[in-house]
Amino acid sequence: MEAKNLHIEIISPAGIVFDGNCHMAVIPTTNGELGIMNNFEPTLARLSKGKIDIYNESEKISKHFEVTEGGFAHNVEGKLLVLLDK
């Protein structure tokens, strides 16, 4: 049985930065980096400066985005919503 992808939305004050599916996303939190895949436990995390890496099914980084001012990430039911402060 094939695992369902994680849906991720990254939103900044200027608008939607990314909206798509991925195998895994690694986000920088105030408690360290956190890797999130589909069916990961529900999570609410404060972001720290760093980068968000988005991995494809081949487990290679397909995209990355800088987090310059922090923000929040909320993961529930196969969807990761990332709200950037800047």
Q: What are the chain's domains?
A: 6-84 (2.60.15.10)
The pLDDT assigned to 1 comes to 39
- Binning the chain into helix, strand and coil, the percentages to the nearest 5 are 0, 65, 35
User: How deeply is 3 buried, as exposed, middle or buried, from its count of CB atoms within 10 A (0-12, 13-18, 19+)?
Assistant: exposed
CA distance 52 to 19: 13
The pLDDT assigned to 58 comes to 86
With beta carbons less than 8 A apart as the criterion, state whether 74 and 66 touch: no
Digitized pLDDT (tens) for each residue of the chain, 86 residues in all: 356 899 999 999 999 999 999 999 999 999 999 999 998 999 999 999 999 999 998 889 999 999 999 999 999 999 999 999 99
- Its pTM stands at 0.92
